[in-house]
């Protein structure tokens, strides 16, 4: 990937050198100064996920193995949706061997879908011609954003580099609103390139950033991995808050459950996030303790 400018690298290095509590205090102060005391909890019950490939994916990625496609509704069954209960759709699916979600075959359905629901689209390393065709119907694109070549090779297994993700993100921003998603610990639970991804975004700009965390999922190559330490996740979130003082930062739905989530959520609140998807009781209690005013939204956090 391209090198970040010296001042961005210096900023990130200075954040990394701080004790975590000091970094979190700085992040909290920035959060209050920029956004005040409002926070949003997300329960995306009004967003349905549609798959353009059914349960099929050509990649068999180490962290997913196609398991998450089983929870999506095939786009051919869109007529089953109740517009009284659904107000938006995430159009997603498996990837082809080059890392693209093959939405082209369903572009003709986008006018119909967008006339009923807001659309968040997961496209992968999409071509610009495809983006031009779908841009009028798309409210936002969610892009898994990573720049570490080793992570791309070992997790996704297709012939792409960090530069390809940077190019795709930059191209998307010319045509649609795009929200990058950074999966912390994606490379076998290790921190590997997440700060480089933040540095790249600092150079290009971002409208919002969603953080998710590796979930070791049964039946995948990474089922026996250990998620990254909570402190490491919080350090990255707090660093992003300091690096992007005026950009909304969200903690997304994909993060480990149980004690891990109960520890992470309150720390993420203190690290300055603006939204948390399905927050734990501990996270909500921490927000209350800190004097935050919480409200609920019922669609995908990127929307």
Tens digits of pLDDT across the chain (303 residues) = 556 667 787 788 888 889 999 999 999 999 999 999 999 999 999 999 999 999 999 999 999 999 999 999 999 999 999 999 999 999 999 999 999 999 999 999 999 999 999 999 999 999 999 999 999 999 999 999 999 999 999 999 988 999 999 999 999 999 999 999 999 999 999 999 999 999 999 999 999 999 999 999 999 999 999 999 999 999 999 999 999 999 999 999 999 999 999 999 999 999 999 999 999 999 999 999 999 999 999 999 999
- Look up the CATH superfamily of 6-297: Aldolase class I (3.20.20.70)
pTM, 2 dp: 0.96
d(CA 294, CA 277): 13
DSSP 155: I
d(CA 104, CA 96): 12
> Under 8 Å CB-to-CB from 212, ≥6 apart: which residues?
181, 182, 183, 184, 251, 252, 253, 254, 255
Question: Cα–Cα distances in Å, from 263 out to 6, 41, 188, 194?
Answer: 34, 17, 21, 21
Q: At what angle do helices 230-243 and 194-204 cross, to 10 degrees?
A: 10
State residue 63's pLDDT score.
Answer: 96
> Under 8 Å CB-to-CB from 174, ≥6 apart: which residues?
none
- Beta-bridged to residue 211, according to DSSP, are 182, 251
């Amino acid at each position: 990937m391209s090198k970040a400018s010296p001042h961005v690298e210096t900023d990130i290095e200075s954040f990394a050198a701080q004790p975590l509590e000091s970094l979190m205090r700085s992040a909290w102060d920035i959060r209050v100064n920029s956004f005040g005391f409002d926070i949003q909890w997300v329960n995306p019950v009004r967003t349905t996920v549609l798959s353009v490939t059914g349960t099929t994916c050509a990649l068999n990625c180490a962290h997913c193995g196609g398991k998450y496609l089983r929870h999506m509704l095939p786009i051919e069954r869109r007529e089953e949706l109740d517009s009284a209960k659904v107000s938006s759709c995430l159009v997603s699916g498996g990837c082809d061997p080059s890392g693209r979600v093959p939405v082209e075959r369903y572009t003709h359905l986008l006018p119909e879908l967008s006339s009923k629901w807001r659309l968040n689209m997961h496209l992968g390393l999409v071509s610009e011609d495809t983006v031009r065709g779908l841009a009028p119907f798309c409210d936002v694109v969610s892009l898994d954003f990573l720049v570490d070549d080793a992570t791309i090779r070992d997790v996704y297994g297709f012939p792409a580099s960090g530069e390809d993700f940077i190019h795709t993100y930059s191209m998307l921003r010319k045509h649609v609103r795009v929200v990058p998603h950074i999966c912390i610990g994606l490379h076998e639970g290790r921190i590997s390139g997440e700060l480089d991804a933040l540095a790249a975004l600092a150079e290009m700009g971002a409208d919002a950033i969603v953080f998710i965390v590796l979930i070791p999922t049964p039946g995948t190559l990474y089922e026996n991995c250990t998620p990254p330490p909570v402190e490491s996740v919080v350090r990255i979130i707090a660093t992003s808050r300091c690096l992007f003082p005026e950009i909304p930062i969200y903690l997304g739905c994909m993060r480990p459950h149980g004690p891990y989530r109960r520890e992470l959520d309150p720390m993420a609140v203190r690290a300055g996030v603006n939204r948390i998807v399905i927050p734990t009781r501990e996270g909500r209690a921490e927000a209350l303790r800190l004097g935050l005013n919480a409200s609920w939204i019922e669609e995908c956090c990127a929307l």
